[in-house]
Amino acid sequence: MNKMIYLDHAATTRMLPEVLEAMTPYQKEYYGNPSTIYEFGEKSREAIENARAVIASTIHAREEEIFFTSGGTESDNWALKEAANLYRRNHPGIHGHILTSPIEHHAIIHTCQELTAMGCGVTYLPVDETGLVIVGKAEECIRENTCILSVMYANNEIGTIEPVEELAFLAKKNDLIFHTDAVQAYGHLPIDVRRSGIDMLSASAHKFGGPKGVGFLYIRKEIDLPSFIQGGAQESNRRAGTENVPGIVGMGKAAELSHRRMGEENRRVKKMRDRLVYRIMREIPDVKFMGNMKKRLSNNANFCFNGIVGESAAILLDTQGICVSSGSACSTGQTEVSHVMKAIGVPEGLAQGALRFTLGAENTMEEIDYTVEKLKYIVEDMRKAAV
């Protein structure tokens, strides 16, 4: 097989051709600043508001609750930092306390570390061996100054879908803001912020067929979250800076398409994912399938192969034209295992052999079978070389 096989859709997705087509007029013709009062700028403003309406409808939110950002990382930072600032504003001299999980994306983990250095308290909720937050133990971690509970909708490494509705109910019962990083879930799972009780939600366009460098933060209207970037009056005075009009238009189109095709695409991708899992577990010895078997994203398959280094295996797969992700990173000659693997209790030796396969729109069964055949020989050769 001569073409590249891309199995790293959790990292980024190919921009859909319809998305590029929708964006092009706002890169070439309608380049007016949306903050201007003349008609040329109004075309850009109208395009932004159309995208806002589409995105709001996909999660059953109000249009005025959608705020455009540069992506999921900014959205996560905004949610946590300004929730902490809001608490201090309402409780002068008292730092807030944050509840989150130890398997969050680094956009959450590193933000929590920064807030800790500034005086905030942070508690990492216990998770089970599949990465599910243990809701029954979460309530025990709530303090008098707890201000926000932030748990991702679905994990980017192992694909586990978290009990979001139960956590949101817990937050509401204790007068906490509930935020979820839905970067891996939005566009792939149906989300209803009203029914689920979600107060804030982060998403990023390039994870569901949109352009890079644009995302959104949903903020429930009743939450007076402070602005994150100061300057102009854009985004209802909540997020200053001239809007990325082509990016926002593209994200709106990608949101429309991904939600229209969601059911059919999930069924198609799941069949390929299940074949990948079945063949690897049957044909490669000494391997462990990671994450929750049932409560997981349809496109995610994560394995730990004993006796190999996942990063090296990913490089060898790349020489065969296959793009996958490893759960470890090498620096200064040492292999550091993923914080997610550590949190769910995977032994370090086994965790070093992690590989993540995330499937998408362009993948085929033929590619899955080819990948398994190449992987079998790579794992066998690496294990022989390690003896």
**pLDDT at position 149 over 50:** yes
| Residues with active-site annotation | 330
Set out the domains of the chain in order of their start, with CATH numbers. Answer: 5-12+262-386 (3.90.1150.10)
**pLDDT at position 64 over 50:** yes
CA 14/CA 362 separation, integer angstroms:
9
Which pLDDT value is given to residue 38?
87
Which pLDDT value is given to residue 219?
98
Instruction: Report which secondary-structure segment, H or E, holds 385.
Output: helix 365-386
Say how far residue 37 (Cα) sits from the centre of its chain: 37
- Per mean pLDDT, which range of 32-41, 195-204, 299-308 is the poorest? 32-41
Q: What is the dihedral of CA 31, 37, 43, 49, to 10 degrees?
A: 110
**pLDDT at position 333 over 50:** no
Average pLDDT over residues 65-86: 97
**pLDDT at position 332 over 60:** no
CA 229/CA 241 separation, integer angstroms:
8
What is the DSSP-derived secondary structure letter of residue 293? S
CA 75/CA 107 separation, integer angstroms:
9
Average pLDDT over residues 135-154: 96
CA distances from 11 to 7, 43, 138, 156, 351 (A): 9, 33, 29, 8, 19
Q: What is the pLDDT of residues 157-174, one digit of tens each?
A: 999 999 999 999 999 999
Which pLDDT value is given to residue 335?
63
Which pLDDT value is given to residue 3?
83
User: Residue 233: which of 13, 387, 33 has the closest Cα?
Assistant: 33
Phi and psi angles of residue 152, each rounded to the nearest 5 degrees, phi first? -65, 150
Instruction: Report which secondary-structure segment, H or E, holds 356.
Output: strand 354-358
Average pLDDT over residues 127-139: 95
How is residue 108 written in tokens? 């959450």
User: Residue 175: which of 241, 212, 125, 223 has the closest Cα?
Assistant: 223
Predicted confidence band of residue 129 (pLDDT cuts 50, 70, 90):
very high
How is residue 96 written in tokens? 């807030």
User: Residue 314: which of 300, 298, 302 has the closest Cα?
Assistant: 302
Half-sphere exposure of 328 (CA within 13 A, CB side): 28
**pLDDT at position 63 over 50:** yes
